[in-house]
Amino acid sequence: MRHKYVPVHRHTLWYYMGGVALFLFMVQVFTGILLVLYYQANENSAFESVRFIMTKVQFGWLIRSVHSWSANLMVFFVFVHMFSTFFTRAFRKPRELTWVSGFILLTLALGFGFTGYLLPWNQLAFFATKVGTDIVGAVPFIGNAAKIVLRGGEDVTGATLSRFYAIHIAILPAIFTIFLGLHLLFVQRQGMHEPDYMANLPADKKKLMPFFPNFLLRDLLLWVVVLNALLALAVFFPWELGEKADMFASAPAGIRPEWYFVFMFQTLKLLPAHVLFIEGEVLGIVLFGLAAIAWMLVPFWKSRGEPHGRSRALKIIGVIVILYIIGMTVLGYAR
């Protein structure tokens, strides 16, 4: 730790994003443990227990609102962290596994988001879970079995709620901890990535900052800023509870999943019922699955082109991915 140095250059700012995501994860663990004290994962009392937390428990509204806001901000900063790593090409050798473990952490974070969304047992969450698990069901070969295991039966019921609760507070945290440990270990072992132009400079021309205490103190300062922003959001824009889930009510108009799933949701909405002989949703799911795997394997992409052309091609791909995600998300909210 004492011998660790952080390169100082015009993109140093991006080094802080992973730290912010880590801090928000710690907030999630802390507030999550507090919520568990009152929450009841049961079809008949889940909604009521969250309402109880928000209306009767002292500062319960704050804890729940911070948990929801922090979850969303965490996903946001994980995305920022990932794209900054992509565009600075910090995933290259020897950091391939840091990228892969980071990608797995992203999918786990989305899993946290998806399972946590159902827990208040409100109408939006109920339909989001129905759709989300049905999408799992469309995966070729193993889909149907996975869907039934996830739902705890054929339909989304109280059994699904119990399972999602177990996944949210036991299974995912256990797996997440392992990959987070690996991810941090890799970062610690390999040090911070230097941009190309800097790696070629002679040692005395490089601007560096000691990790301890200089970078760490900046990290901590930023965490305090983030915490204040988080509290402000939680206080001034408290998270809503919505209406209790009713298994026999029509899906309300304007229904959509959490913002970080909207681009996939919107794509599924736009796909026609059948593309050639394949059902539209199956095609969408398979394509998204393949894209995710390709993205996870970015450090291993091989190309015959010269290095400069290769980095330009990567940049273009990254920009297209971001534009697609933003475009589809905007479209999803526009209607």
Partner 1 sequence: MMQKAKSRPTTAEQSGDGMAISRRQFLNLLLGGGILGWLGSVIYPVFSYLRPPKTPEANVQSVKAGLASEFPVNSAQIVKFGRRPVILIRTDTGDFRAFSATCTHLECIVQYRTDLKQIWCACHNGLYDLKGRNLSGPPPRPLEEYAVKVVGDEINVARSAGVGS
Q: Give the interface with partner 1 as residue ranges (CB under 8 A).
A: 127, 130-131, 134-135, 145, 148-149, 151-153, 155, 159, 247-255, 265, 268-269, 271-274, 279-281
Q: Is 157 exposed, middle or buried (0-12, 13-18, 19+ CB in 10 A)?
A: middle
Which is nearer to partner 1, 96 or 281 (by Cβ)?
A: 281
Report the nearest approach of partner 1 to the CB of residue 117 (Å).
15
Report the nearest approach of partner 1 to the CB of residue 271 (Å).
6
Report the nearest approach of partner 1 to the CB of residue 258 (Å).
14
Which is nearer to partner 1, 58 or 250 (by Cβ)?
A: 250
Q: How far apart are CA 298 and CA 288, in angstroms?
A: 15
Which is nearer to partner 1, 48 or 154 (by Cβ)?
A: 154
Report the nearest approach of partner 1 to the CB of residue 111 (Å).
16
Which is nearer to partner 1, 152 or 191 (by Cβ)?
A: 152
Which is nearer to partner 1, 152 or 210 (by Cβ)?
A: 152
Decide if 82 contacts 106 (C-beta within 8 A).
Answer: yes
Which is nearer to partner 1, 85 or 266 (by Cβ)?
A: 266
Indicate the SS3 state at residue 110.
helix
Decide if 73 contacts 230 (C-beta within 8 A).
Answer: yes
Q: How far apart are CA 34 and CA 30, in angstroms?
A: 7
Report the nearest approach of partner 1 to the CB of residue 150 (Å).
10
Which is nearer to partner 1, 272 or 307 (by Cβ)?
A: 272
Beta-carbon contacts of 12 under 8 Å, excluding residues fewer than 6 positions away, are 6, 209
Q: How far apart are CA 216 and CA 14, in angstroms?
A: 14
Q: 48: which 2 tokens?
A: 């009521």
Q: How far apart are CA 134 and CA 219, in angstroms?
A: 41
Q: How far apart are CA 328 and CA 330, in angstroms?
A: 5
Report the nearest approach of partner 1 to the CB of residue 121 (Å).
16
Report the nearest approach of partner 1 to the CB of residue 284 (Å).
9
Report the nearest approach of partner 1 to the CB of residue 263 (Å).
14
According to DSSP, residue 40 is labeled: -
Q: 97: which 2 tokens?
A: 């596994």
Decide if 53 contacts 60 (C-beta within 8 A).
Answer: yes
Which is nearer to partner 1, 49 or 133 (by Cβ)?
A: 133
Q: Is 244 left (phi over 0), alpha (psi -120 to 50) or beta?
A: beta
In degrees, to the nearest 5, what angle opens at C-alpha 9 toward C-alphas 8 and 13? 85
